[in-house]
């Protein structure tokens, strides 16, 4: 990379770019695209799963599921820089810092490639211990190792794709970001089904995953080039934002580690105190109802860059978007929870059995309110991080962590299965209140300190 800044040129962006990107019409369009494109992946997953199970067998299909878990945790190797990139680009658009945008983006992407490459090497060196830890049968061990290695080698591609997606989200290019996920979807699910007749092996399945990620990353590069004309002409190193980015990313990483751990910790306590046969009365409704959070994430993925831009340019507008999001999500997911309050027993009987419904209907009701609150909770979380204060969300989680673990341990020990969703609901009540209070505090400060943009020159002259 060239360490010298390129000469500043006339911006290729309109002056009202930030206003256009946060307009009601643009946000509604982006949300609709995001919501609609969530349906096809669910349908494809439902259709292809039976073929993969019958073609690969239970054990090899189970290994693939563990692979996806590893992929989920391996995204920690972006160290929060993907989220930081979205926040920074949104902020720079609001401040009209278009000339320095290119070098800043290239600097972050270079760091992401470096960090993910280090993570990839470490995971490759640990191939045999990791595969051995998941109790693979001897007959599949070598095959599982090869499949794991193919998957791990695509880690830098995954992290770069996350970074490029963050840039596109800042420009509200959600049609592009969703379209780019279809090659990943095809090569993750459809292509393996087509290959089953000739190559029913884990390494071939994971090779298809790598092909999908290569195509998706190329598509993302093309899309970024279109919405960001200076992208290829501004390859340079700019460390002026590096300190704030690393600070933001490190706190985001802490949140990304603590939050999932707190969400899954209840399974560990239940496994210690109850039998697997009893745990399914909690994990089954929890898993099904957790799908609704995807729709809240679709909305918040659109609002996050809009929050970042408006927080700088027009914090009063950011406050309006924030309160409306809280209201609409509360009503929508509250009605869903209310629906399950009156129908959970009947639905479980219809879906599974009367005996299952008798043991699980009350747990299902509590889980419905847990996921409704978890969806609303994403709104203050997104606004706080969009403002650049990712440290607040991490600190709030760290404060809650010991109290939650103690209450969960005590509750499961004393009251059994129902305590797990009940304690999680209480934690989410406290978390949502604390996050909302912090979000309103940040908005109040931003509104008080905001200096409006100067009027156009012609108006001033008049």
SS3 for 101-117 is HHHHHHHHHHHHHHHHH
pLDDT band at 207; cut points 50, 70, 90? confident
Question: Where does residue 236 rank: exposed (0-12), middle (13-18), buried (19+ CB within 10 A)?
Answer: middle
Over residues 262-306, the pLDDT tens digits come to: 766 666 666 566 655 577 777 778 777 877 777 887 788 777 777
Number of domains in the chain: 2
Residue 455: pLDDT over 70 = no
Residue 222: pLDDT over 60 = yes
* 228 and 266, same domain (yes or no): no
The pLDDT score that the predictor gives to residue 9 is: 40
Residues 75-82: what's their mean pLDDT? 72
pLDDT band at 98; cut points 50, 70, 90? low
| Higher local confidence (pLDDT), 8 or 397 | 397
Q: In degrees rounded to 5, what are phi and psi of residue 37?
A: -80, -5
**17 token code pair:** 């770019």
- Radius of gyration, alpha carbons of the chain: 24
Around 228, how many Cα atoms within 13 Å sit in the side-chain half-sphere?
34
Whether residue 458 is contained in a domain is answered as: no
Residues 318-339: what's their mean pLDDT? 91
The pLDDT score that the predictor gives to residue 24 is: 63
Over residues 20-72, the pLDDT tens digits come to: 555 566 666 666 666 666 667 767 776 777 777 777 776 777 777 677 667 76
* 231 and 272, same domain (yes or no): no
Residues 126-133: what's their mean pLDDT? 83
* 282 and 420, same domain (yes or no): yes
Q: Which residues have C-beta within 8 Å of that of residue 62, sequence separation ≥ 6?
A: none
Residue where one domain finishes, among candidates 238, 267, 299: 238
The pLDDT score that the predictor gives to residue 8 is: 41
Residue 374: pLDDT over 50 = yes
368 close to 336: Cβ distance less than 8 angstroms: yes
pLDDT band at 75; cut points 50, 70, 90? low
Around 345, how many Cα atoms within 13 Å sit in the side-chain half-sphere?
6
Query: For all residues of the chain together, what is the average pLDDT?
Result: 78
* 316 and 195, same domain (yes or no): no
Over residues 406-416, the pLDDT tens digits come to: 998 888 888 87
Q: Could you identify the residue written with the tokens 């292509």?
A: 191
Q: Could you identify the residue written with the tokens 């393996």?
A: 192
**219 token code pair:** 């598509």
* 395 and 273, same domain (yes or no): yes
* 288 and 386, same domain (yes or no): yes
Question: Where does residue 457 rank: exposed (0-12), middle (13-18), buried (19+ CB within 10 A)?
Answer: exposed
Q: List the domain range (segments joined by +) for residue 98.
A: 17-238
């Amino acid at each position: 990379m060239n360490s010298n800044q390129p000469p500043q040129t006339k911006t290729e962006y309109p002056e009202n770019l930030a206003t256009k990107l946060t307009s009601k019409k643009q946000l509604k369009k982006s949300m609709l695209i995001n919501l609609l494109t969530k349906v096809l992946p669910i349908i494809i997953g439902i259709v292809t799963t039976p073929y993969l199970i019958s073609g690969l067998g239970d054990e090899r299909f189970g290994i693939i599921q563990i692979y996806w878990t590893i992929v989920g945790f391996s995204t920690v190797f972006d160290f929060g820089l993907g989220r930081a990139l979205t926040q920074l680009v949104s902020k720079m658009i609001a401040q009209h810092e278009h000339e320095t945008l290119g070098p800043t983006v290239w600097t972050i992407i270079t760091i992401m490639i470096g960090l993910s490459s280090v993570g990839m090497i470490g995971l490759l060196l640990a191939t045999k211990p990791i595969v051995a830890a998941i109790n693979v049968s001897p007959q599949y061990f070598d095959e599982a190792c090869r499949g794991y290695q193919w998957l791990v080698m695509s880690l830098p591609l995954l992290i770069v794709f996350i970074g490029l997606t963050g840039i596109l989200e800042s420009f509200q290019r959600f049609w592009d970001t969703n379209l780019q996920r279809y090659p990943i979807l095809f090569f993750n699910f459809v292509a393996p089904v087509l290959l089953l007749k000739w190559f029913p092996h884990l390494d071939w399945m994971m090779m298809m995953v790598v092909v999908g990620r290569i195509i998706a990353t190329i598509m993302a590069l093309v899309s970024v080039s279109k919405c960001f004309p200076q992208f290829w002409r501004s390859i340079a190193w700019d460390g002026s934002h590096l300190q704030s980015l690393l600070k933001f990313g490190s706190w985001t990483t802490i949140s990304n580690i603590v939050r999932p751990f707190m969400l899954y910790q209840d399974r560990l306590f239940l496994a210690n105190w109850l039998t697997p046969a009893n745990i399914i009365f909690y994990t089954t409704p929890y898993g099904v109802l957790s799908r609704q959070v995807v729709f809240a994430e679709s909305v918040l993925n659109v609002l996050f860059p809009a929050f970042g831009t408006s927080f700088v340019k027009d914090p009063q507008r950011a406050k309006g978007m924030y309160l409306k999001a809280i209201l609409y999500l509360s009503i929508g997911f509250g009605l869903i929870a209310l629906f399950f309050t009156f129908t959970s027993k009947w639905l479980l009987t219809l879906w599974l059995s009367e005996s299952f419904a008798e043991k699980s209907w009350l747990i299902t009701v509590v889980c419905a309110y847990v996921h409704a609150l978890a969806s609303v909770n994403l709104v203050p979380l997104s606004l706080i991080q969009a403002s650049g204060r990712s440290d607040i969300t991490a600190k709030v989680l760290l404060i809650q962590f010991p109290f939650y673990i103690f209450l969960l341990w005590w509750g499961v020990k004393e009251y059994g299965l129902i305590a797990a969703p009940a304690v999680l609901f209480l934690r989410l009540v406290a978390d949502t209140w604390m996050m909302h209070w912090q979000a309103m505090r940040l908005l109040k400060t931003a509104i008080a300190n905001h200096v409006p943009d100067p009027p156009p020159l012609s108006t001033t002259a008049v």
